[in-house]
């Protein structure tokens, strides 16, 4: 099976990127990370990519007059590396029209809550403050909204009485590292079928 080329966009520490790199390197999923792009020059994600001999580039949004031009540069770089699937992994910007049109149904994101609950920033704190007994994480396709696209996979994580934001985030993160490679694997094998808002997983 030919290997699907992934482009990863990350703004921070890149632990989900690492999970994808490891899954690809281990031969577990028929995919490879072809390029990593970051809007933050010293994002640790860029170092992780370089340690795995993956091209890693900082693209400075401030160097472009607006989001459209910045995204055109992202698209240019992703296409130059043959990217077929874009994975957002802690990428702290909303994706706009230019990226969505260049990669229709081909952009995924991971979010640390059971969407549609607690979209946006500080999802783990939102869950604690609300008092839910269960939260988790979600891999979804990206649309023009904030964490609002069709859901691919979710994992449930219990909220424990002694939890603070850090302990809950750490337990959720373990699950993120499981479901993100699994979602990419399903995509790479052509097993995800989008029907309206619903994502069917083919046998």
* Binding interface with ligand GRF (CB under 6 A): 10, 12-16, 89-90, 110-112, 173, 176
> Which residue number, 57 or 64, has a Cβ lying nearer to ligand GRF?
57
> Which residue number, 72 or 185, has a Cβ lying nearer to ligand GRF?
185
Of these residues, 111, 122, 140, 177, which one is catalytic? 111
Question: Quick check: helix, strand or coil at residue 86?
Answer: strand
Bond into 116 cis (ω within 30): yes
Q: Which long-range contacts (CB under 8 A, 24 or more apart) does 99-108 make?
A: 99/71, 99/74, 99/75, 100/142, 100/143, 100/144, 102/75, 102/78, 103/75, 103/78, 105/141, 105/194, 107/141, 107/142, 108/139, 108/140, 108/141, 108/142, 108/152, 108/180, 108/183, 108/184, 108/187
The reply to whether 140 belongs to the active site is no
CB of 172 vs ligand GRF, minimal distance in Å: 7
CB of 77 vs ligand GRF, minimal distance in Å: 20
> Which residue number, 155 or 189, has a Cβ lying nearer to ligand GRF?
155
Assess contact for 61 and 93: CB atoms under 8 A. yes
C-alpha–C-alpha distance, residues 65 and 166, integer Å: 37
Handedness of CA 15, 169, 148, 189 (dihedral sign): positive
CB of 26 vs ligand GRF, minimal distance in Å: 18
CB of 89 vs ligand GRF, minimal distance in Å: 5
> Which residue number, 110 or 186, has a Cβ lying nearer to ligand GRF?
110
* Catalytic residue numbers, as ranges: 111
């Amino acid at each position: 099976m030919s290997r699907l080329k992934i482009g990863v966009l990350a703004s921070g520490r890149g632990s989900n990127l690492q999970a994808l790199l490891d899954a690809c390197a281990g031969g577990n999923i028929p995919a490879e990370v072809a390029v990593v792009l970051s809007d933050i020059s010293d994002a640790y994600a860029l170092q992780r990519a370089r340690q795995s001999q993956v091209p890693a580039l900082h693209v400075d949004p401030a160097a472009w007059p607006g989001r459209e031009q910045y995204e055109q540069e992202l698209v240019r770089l992703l296409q130059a590396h043959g990217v077929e699937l874009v994975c957002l992994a802690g990428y702290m910007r909303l994706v706009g029209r230019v990226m969505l049109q260049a990669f229709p149904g081909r952009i995924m994101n991971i979010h640390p809550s059971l969407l549609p609950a607690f979209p946006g920033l500080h999802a783990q704190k939102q869950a604690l403050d609300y008092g839910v007994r269960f939260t988790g994480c979600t891999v979804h396709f990206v649309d023009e909204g904030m964490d609002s696209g069709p859901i691919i996979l979710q994992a449930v994580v219990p909220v424990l009485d002694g939890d603070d934001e850090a302990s809950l985030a750490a337990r959720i993160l373990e699950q993120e590292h499981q479901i993100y490679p699994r979602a990419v694997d399903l995509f790479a094998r052509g097993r995800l079928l989008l029907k309206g808002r619903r994502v069917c997983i083919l046998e």
